[in-house]
Amino acid sequence: MPTSAIEVHNLTVSYNQRPVLWDVDFTLPEGKLIAIVGPNGSGKTTLLKSIMGLVPLSGGFARLFDQPLADVRSQVSYVPQRESVDWDFPARVKDVVLMGRYRPQNLLRRLTRLDREVADWALEQVRMKEFAQRQISQLSGGQQQRVFIARSLAQQANLYLMDEPFAGVDAASEKAILELLLQLKDRGKTLLIVHHDLNTVRQYFDWVVLMNTRLVAAGPVEEVFTEANLQAAYGGQLTVLAQVADRVQEGGFPVRKKEVKI
């Protein structure tokens, strides 16, 4: 029986005694590109943080590769939302990527030639090597996102958790990020990604976790990403989404405004 990449069982997270996640239960396979989809406030970011042990659980557990996080932490890489990062921190692009070479147990070790070679390789993967000596604050939003993904690549993990990597990026960055994610999947990596653009879920992803505080459904896109499940997750918001999609097709909005973040 193949090993699961992520197992979440009866997971519950509460803030101020109000549940953000409630009794969430699913198992995700290895080697897939998986979207977490749901409306604002549905617990998508909290789900990633709970899997990474960054928020306290009110109940349940998460296991990665059939093991506790502590036993496989070096195999897991996390990319937070770009808005949650202080981009004014004075650091060069390459220094940010090199942060991915440190581990909790060896934070004080000196960087090696191999570490620097891996960092250069990671920057090449996201098409940012020419910006290696640039201050991170001087980059565009899309470029900053690509640098953070390069830092994640430098960890050389087997599981990547990414919180809205396509949010607020330009078309070139979105294309570069998608190509990279597909390459990682082809290498057998597992990618769990918070995603907000319903228009591209079928195009980009193999599996989907559809939720709104509780799990609505999880599985292959063709089975889970149905009108009935979307209605259960979004309710009346889908009517607004459909109207916007119609306007896009009619040319009423610019192409880059097609994304509806909800």
Confidence (pTM): 0.83
- pLDDT at residue 53, rounded to an integer: 93
- pLDDT at residue 250, rounded to an integer: 53
- pLDDT at residue 262, rounded to an integer: 33
DSSP codes joined into one string, the chain: -PPEEEEEEEEEEEETTEEEEEEEEEEEESS-EEEEE--TTSSHHHHHHHHTT-S--SEEEEEETTB-HHHHGGGEEEE--GGGS-TTS--BHHHHHHGGG--GGGTTSPP-HHHHHHHHHHHHHTT-GGGTTSBGGGS-HHHHHHHHHHHHHHT--SEEEEE-TTTT--HHHHHHHHHHHHHHHHTT-EEEEE---GGGHHHH-SEEEEEESEEEEEEEHHHHS-HHHHHHHHTTHHHHHHHHHHHHHTT-S-GGG-----
Two tokens, residue 67: 């093991």
- pLDDT at residue 217, rounded to an integer: 96
Residues of the chain with pLDDT under 50: 239-249, 252-262
The CATH number of the domain covering residues in 4-257: 3.40.50.300
What does the alpha-carbon distance between residue 110 and residue 32 come to, in Å, rounded to a whole number?
A: 35
